[in-house]
Structures are given as C-alpha cells and as structure tokens.
Amino acid sequence: MKYITRTVWILSIVSLLTDTASEMLYPIMPVYLRSIGFSILLIGILEGVAEATAGLSKGYFGKLSDSSGKRVPLVKIGYAFSAISKPMMAFFVYPLWIFFSRTIDRFGKGIRTGARDAILSDEATPQTKGKVFGFHRSMDTVGAVIGPSLALLYLYFHPKQYKTLFFIAFIPGLLAVWASFYLKDKRALKNSSQIKTQISFFSFLKYWKISPPVYRRVVTGLLIFTLFNSSDVFLLLKAKQGGFDDTSIIGVYIFYNLIYALFSFPIGILADKVGLKTIFISGLALFAVVYFGMSVNNNLYFFFGLFFLYGIYASATEGISKAWISNITNKKDTATAIGTFSGLQSICSMLASSLTGLVWFNFGASAAFIITGIATLFVIIYFLSITPAGEKSF
C-alpha cells in the first residue's frame, strides 16, 4: 500500500473524525430542532440555506486554492469551522443563532472540499486515483458508521438528552483539527502577481468555459444524474413506511454506511484496473436497481438487501467521480475543477430533493422512485454513448 502516503493517511483520519462528529448528530438533528420549536418548513429553509452556502463556497475556495497554490491552510480552516459549529448549536436556541451555527458548519465544508481533494489527487498518479480516493472515502465513511452508533448508544441510556450530544460531537471534531496540523503544503507558491489577483465569489464559474471539453461532457452527465438523486432521507422514509421503527431506521442507515465503508477501497482498486468510467456506470446501474426495488418493496428483509446494494453504489460513484474528474483536468486546476463540480452538484441536489418531494406528495412514493430509476437509465445511456478524447484510459 505504498500509494497510500502519509498525507493520504492524515487526510483520511481527519475525515473519519469529522464524519464521526457530523454523523453523530445527523439522525437526531431534525428531532432536536423540533424540540426547540422549529417547524418542518423552518427546518427545510435551514437545510436549504446551509447546503447553498456549502455548494457555492466549494467553487470559490477551490479556485482560491489553485490561484494561491495553497491547499493545507484551507483544509485546516474548513475542518476548524465544522468542529466549532457543533457545540455552538447547543448554546442558544434562537433561530438566527441556529442558522448561523449550521451555516458555519456547511461553510467549513465548502472551504476545505476542493483543496482537500486536490491534495489527494496530487498524492496519486492517474493509475492509482481510484485506490487513493477509494481509501479516503472508505475511512471517511467509517466515521458515518461510528457516529450514529455512538448516538444510538448514548440515547439508549440518556433518552432525549440531545444537547449533550452536540458537546460530545465536539471531541472528535477537535481531534480532527489537531490531526490536520500534521499536514504540510508540498506545492510551491506561484508568482506574487498571480496570488494578488482578485477572485470574485463566482469567478469559478468562468472555469466552465475554459475547461477541457471532456470535463464539460462528463460533468454534464454527473449533474443530470444529481438532478434526480434526491436525499437519502427519502429512502429512510420509505423504509419507515414499510414498517421500520426509529431504532431500525438508524440501524439500516448504519448498515448502509458500513457497506459503503467496506467496499470503497476494494472498488477503488478495481476501478484502477478496469477503468473509472466502467465502475461509475456499474454504480449507476445498481442505483437504478435500488430505486426500482424501492418503488415496489414493502418487505423488511428486502429493504436490507436494497440498502446493501445502495452502499455498493455509493462506493462505486462518490470517490470514483472525483478521481475521474481529477484525471481529465489539468493538475493546476484540480481544486477549481472539483470545486466547480461540487458547487453545481450541491445546487442540483437541492433541486432533486424538492422535485422528488413534489412528485411524492402528488403521486406517491412509487412514482417518485420509478421516475428516478428511469432517469438514471438515460444517464447510463448518455455515459455509454460518449467517448471523449483522452478519456479512454480512465
């Protein structure tokens, strides 16, 4: 495993600790917000504002990282913001303070994403991108197993003591910040005139015009898919309708993340052998199977089978898509390319959840899942039909 360098290990551990903190709160966040007086509408607005902040800032800070030649400072600041946001939400219950705290968390994600993924790309070769991104994604997702498990265990002994969990979550968040200080920038600064160039908040969008044609074709397909890939909450809601109690819902969510964590690294290794594009399309096929299955299933055991396939789908697409993008763009633009994609992806994700919710409300859950499954089949056909120049080796 010589391709898993010291830097990759540190970034992976930092991500694991941060995800442990975040996912510890994910299952209880809606319940906590309702307990302090937030309506469903206000929760929706809160999450929308938070995700929009993360999405738009990913592009800007990705561009800033490439322009300045700095990666590590943005990574440290981003993880620090996410860490301090955890206890902030427990100090006061005023809506404006909650909005501020939640936005700080997502803003931190926006600051670090492009720079972090660029570091991972710099640590790999085109032949090891799948392994490196797969390993990082695997470690990151281990945190998504540990976090909810700790939350479930704590709430079993201390029911409804939600506030304390926010302070407990600060501990792994703080450890992540401490670990990030072992990272060192390897890239030399560019000339000072370029560093001093003013970068507007939306300047990253200009990259779309000057990016390689292969980048635009691949990202177009990824974004179309994202428009139909709604929040995992809808899958959990379907399981709830199928007869799962609250504990079982958290359990199946942990199970999904466990499969995701276990398969990410092996699938990354496989992707380097058979091609990133091939693995990604295979992941989309599994996604379609899961959504068609969800549209007709009400069997409790079958739900676990579908979430098993969903975990493998995530392993075959999340890290793989970023590895793919990093292989089809210029090395000096890696953070901008990934940041631009991640920013546009966040906006499409918001639209996807809104559209799915609208279809679910008017036509039922089955219609929502079937439409998503059909749309995914068209995206698969799109990717199969394009063979951009320079992509065949990836």
Which amino acid is located at 274 in the chain?
V
**Does the pLDDT value for residue 308 go beyond 90?**
yes
Confidence of residue 310 (pLDDT cuts 50, 70, 90): very high
Judged by average pLDDT, the poorest of 13-17, 133-137, 204-208, 270-274 is 204-208
pLDDT at 21: 92
Which long-range CB contacts under 8 A does 28-35 form with residues at least 24 apart?
Answer: 28/151, 28/155, 28/162, 28/165, 31/162, 32/89, 32/162, 32/163, 33/98, 35/160, 35/162
The CA-based angle 390-392-394, given to 5 degrees, is 95
Q: How far is CA 337 from CA 24, 208, 278, 322, in A?
A: 31, 8, 21, 9
Judged by average pLDDT, the poorest of 15-29, 177-191, 229-243, 334-348 is 177-191
Instruction: Tell me the Cα Rg of the chain.
Output: 20
**Does the pLDDT value for residue 281 go beyond 90?**
yes
**Does the pLDDT value for residue 147 go beyond 70?**
yes
The residue count of the chain comes to: 394
pLDDT at 40: 58
- Could you tell me if 383 and 222 are in contact, meaning their C-beta atoms sit under 8 angstroms apart? no
Tell me what the pLDDT averaged over the chain comes to: 84
In this structure, whether the domain defined by 6-183+205-385 belongs to CATH 3.40.640.10 is answered with no
pLDDT in tens, 89-115: 888 778 888 888 888 988 898 899 888
With 0.75 as the threshold, say if the pTM is over it: yes
pLDDT in tens, 24-79: 887 677 777 777 887 756 776 777 677 777 777 887 888 888 888 888 999 999 99
pLDDT at 390: 43
**Does the pLDDT value for residue 200 go beyond 70?**
no
pLDDT at 393: 39
**Does the pLDDT value for residue 205 go beyond 80?**
no
> Which residue would you say has higher pLDDT here, 289 or 209?
289
Confidence of residue 370 (pLDDT cuts 50, 70, 90): very high
Confidence of residue 208 (pLDDT cuts 50, 70, 90): confident
Domain residue spans in the chain? 6-183+205-385
Judged by average pLDDT, the poorest of 6-15, 152-161, 167-176, 317-326 is 152-161
pLDDT at 193: 42
Residue range 119-143: average pLDDT? 89
**Does the pLDDT value for residue 303 go beyond 70?**
yes
Confidence of residue 197 (pLDDT cuts 50, 70, 90): low
What is the C-alpha to C-alpha distance for residues 31 and 19, in angstroms, rounded to an integer? 20
pLDDT at 233: 73
HEC string of the chain equals: CCCCCHHHHHHHHHHHHHHHHHHHHCCCHHHHHHHCCCCHHHHHHHHHHHHHHHHHHHHHHHHHHHHHCCCHHHHHHHHHHHHHHHHHHHHCCCHHHHHHHHHHHHHHHHHHHHHHHHHHHHCCCCCCHHHHHHHHHHHHHHHHHHHHHHHHHHHHHCCCCHHHHHHHHHHHHHHHHHHHCCCCCCCCCCCHHHHCCCCCCCHHHHHHHHCCHHHHHHHHHHHHHHCCCCCCHHHHHHHHHCCCCHHHHHHHHHHHHHHHHHHHHHHHHHHHHHCHHHHHHHHHHHHHHHHHHHHHCCCHHHHHHHHHHHHHHHHCCHHHHHHHHHHCCCHHHHHHHHHHHHHHHHHHHHHHHHHHHHHHHHHCHHHHHHHHHHHHHHHHHHHHHCCCCCCCCC
Which amino acid is located at 255 in the chain?
F
**Does the pLDDT value for residue 222 go beyond 90?**
yes
